[in-house]
Amino acid sequence: MNAINWVACRTLLGKEVTRWRKVWMQTVLAPVITALLYLLVFGHVLEGRVEVFPGVSYTAFLIPGLLMMTVIQNAFANTSSSLIQSKVMGSIVFVLLPPFSALELFLAYIGAAVLRGLAVGVGVFLLAIFYVQVPIENIFVVLIFAILGSYAMGALGLIAGMWAEKFDQIAAFQSFLIVPLTFLSGVFYSIKSLPEFWYQLSKANPFFYMIDGFRYGFFGQSDQPVMLSLAAMLLAVTILTIICVRMLQSGYKLRDA
Amino acid sequence: MARLFFFPVVTGSILTEINAISLSGVSKRYGDLQALNNVSFDIRKGEFFGLLGPNGAGKSTLISALAGLLKVDSGQLSILGADVEKEYRQARQHLGVVPQEIVMDPFFTVRETLQFQSGYFGIRNNDDWINELLDQLNLSEKADTNMRKLSGGMKRRVLIAQALVHKPQVLVLDEPTAGVDVELRQSMWRFVRRLHREGHTIVLTTHYLEEAEELCDRIAIINKGELLALETKQDLLARGLGSKLLVRATHDIDTIPREYQDRVTRLEGNEVELILHRDSDSVMEILDRLRAASMKIDFVSVLSDSLEDVFVRMTSEQEGVQ
């Protein structure tokens, strides 16, 4: 078995991070502004009318959900757009010609997705706390779920990027899978407020565990036990890692394309 | 002359038997198309090797297979003894490929592009070599320019620098001069010749057959995925029919002796062109027979076959065109 070439892996990670840093207005600032607009609109309309957790204002409740939504959407966008762009433009060859192993490619792409997710998350948080005070019950839980969430979504973006042959297929993946699963995962509400059928269905949505566990890190309260959410996330990242590495090993729609 | 490029060229008795590139029974099929059909040949270390064939012949498929960009259905490929699939790390480390298409990553400058590419091959702190490549390819002034702002020729040079940034011993150039102006083409060949002189194996595919004729030691011709010829340039040029005899008469030519009629490639007015068998024909004997057939000869010339003539003839024969 080949040992990991850390120089190669770090270089690709550095290149992927540089890629999103160079267009930070589009990749960091724009999603931060969008999240804040959600916060302003929903917070203004629903503040004082809804109390999801005892003692937690609706706007404060909303912040972790919006934060996580922004983190995971950007993690997905980072890997998927990087791959589809380089596939369409042909520059993917610069990554395919060097002696990368599948694991090195995976770690580099996922690392960059996690870092972009965290950068956007920190941006949303720093601006949001000017608007409303949000407690942080356990910073480690917050960080673990932010990292696992962006890891999982970066991996999903990698799968989408390998599978897609055109930009609109990525957009479809985003519109028909990522956005619905995110919006129906309890970003804006507690799933306990849903009718039984939708409550049970929401529990089958893996995105719910990302948001719910993340929210626990802020309030110490959640719809499901935090360890259950952690187990669900660990299972998701394990499955996604295996799928991604296998796809990269076989060169699915990358080599022989 | 001082050696400008300090590549780690493998020399010595132990490794002298290892071929730079070795292909054995390589086949690849895309649906109904047999892109490569049982292709086998070796490219020796230090050769300047030409890979010729019409569009769709299988050249790019072969190069992609060597570079690990596709998997073949059967057969083995190795680079300096390393199997491109099982020992892909070593194989790719030995190989530099200049792709046919001009591709680039629009986010980065020329220097960043080369630094990243160097790191991908596990090489850190490669700035001295990168500066030397920039200098040799006349890119120093553009080192900090974004790739998007370069001309087509400049981008092509960056592609060459990217292929060389990890100091590979085998360099594959896939139609590197397509759409490149004459000046750049000549400076590119000076550079590649120098690499070759310093012991590097160069594999070239080109549509400009005069380039292959001028540069390559040995040439393989492939068509429809099959190897039609693999010979030294001299043997290929001397192969088969070889050259033509041009005869101009003082009058319009209307009759040719029967024994030469199937050799006529052109008959226009007072000129006739005949295929000349280098080994068996005597020019004087042919002229005597033409004179005996009442032809008053004014001018005679022997036209040597170019690589293009040989190439066209061989690929046409495979197509069944006479």
pLDDT for position B15: 47
Kindly state the average pLDDT of the residues A86-109.
96
Kindly state the average pLDDT of the residues A233-241.
97
Q: Say if residue A246's pLDDT is above 70.
A: yes
d(CA B141, CA A155): 40
pLDDT for position A176: 93
Residue B176, Cβ neighbours under 10 Å: how many? Answer: 25
d(CA A153, CA A134): 25
Contacts of A69 (CB under 8 A, 6+ apart): A35, A182, A187, A211
Residue A111, Cβ neighbours under 10 Å: how many? Answer: 19
Cβ–Cβ of B103/A22 closer than 8 Å? no
- Please state the domain extents for chain A: 23-250
B303 and chain A in contact, CB less than 8 A: no
- Pick from B93, B104, B124: CB nearest A7: B124
On whether the B21-233 domain is CATH 3.40.50.9100, my answer is no
Chain A residues within an 8 Å CB radius of B108: 15, 18
- Pick from B101, B119, B124: CB nearest A90: B101
Rounded CA Rg of chain B? 24
Question: How far away is chain A from the Cα of B89, in angstroms, using its nearest Cα?
Answer: 5
Inter-chain contacts counted by CB atoms under 8 A, chains A and B:
82
Smallest CA–CA distance from A96 into chain B, residue:
B69
pLDDT for position A185: 87
Chain B residues within an 8 Å CB radius of A2: 89
Q: What is the model's pTM?
A: 0.84
**What is the pLDDT tens value at each position of chain B, 322 positions in all?**
344 554 555 444 444 578 999 999 999 999 899 999 999 999 999 999 999 888 888 998 999 999 999 999 999 999 999 999 999 999 999 999 999 889 999 999 999 999 999 999 999 999 999 999 999 888 999 999 999 999 888 999 999 999 999 999 999 999 887 777 788 888 888 889 999 998 899 999 877 777 888 899 899 988 889 998 898 877 777 664 457 889 999 999 888 888 888 888 888 999 998 888 766 778 888 888 898 888 899 999 887 766 667 777 777 766 664 4
pLDDT for position A189: 81
ipTM of predicted assembly, 2 dp: 0.90
Mutate to test the interface with B, among A2, A94, A249 (most CBs of B within 10 A): A94
- Please state the domain extents for chain B: 21-233, 243-304
Kindly state the average pLDDT of the residues A68-78.
95
Cβ–Cβ of B103/A23 closer than 8 Å? no
* Selection from A227, A178, A239 nearest residue A205 by Cα: A178
pLDDT for position A212: 93
Per-position DSSP letters for A98-144, written without gaps between them: S---HHHHHHHHHHHHHHHHHHHHHHHHHHHTTTS----S-HHHHHH
Q: What are phi and psi of B22, to 5 degrees?
A: -135, 125
Q: Which residues of A touch B (CB under 8 A)?
A: 2, 5, 7-8, 10-12, 14-15, 18-19, 22-23, 86, 89-91, 93-101, 251, 255-256
8 A C-beta contact, residue B222 and residue B228: yes
Cβ–Cβ of B119/A7 closer than 8 Å? yes
Q: Please, what is the Cα angle at A203 between A41 and A178, to 5 degrees?
A: 55
- Pick from A8, A10, A86: CB nearest B121: A8
- Determine the residue type at A39: L
Cβ–Cβ of A99/B93 closer than 8 Å? yes
B93 and chain A in contact, CB less than 8 A: yes
pLDDT in tens, A20-45: 999 999 999 999 999 989 888 887 77
- Pick from A95, A96, A256: CB nearest B71: A256
pLDDT for position B141: 95
Q: What are phi and psi of A223, to 5 degrees?
A: -70, -35
Task: Specify the higher pLDDT residue, A10 or A38.
Answer: A10
Question: How far away is chain B from the Cα of A94, in angstroms, using its nearest Cα?
Answer: 7
d(CA A111, CA A133): 30
Cβ–Cβ of A99/B105 closer than 8 Å? no
Cβ–Cβ of B101/A99 closer than 8 Å? no
Cβ–Cβ of A98/B104 closer than 8 Å? no
Beta strand B48-52 with B218-223 is parallel
Mutate to test the interface with A, among B61, B105, B164 (most CBs of A within 10 A): B105
Which single residue is written with the structure tokens 């589809």?
A84
Cβ–Cβ of B92/A97 closer than 8 Å? yes
pLDDT for position A191: 84
Task: Specify the higher pLDDT residue, A57 or A227.
Answer: A227
Smallest CA–CA distance from A250 into chain B, residue:
B71
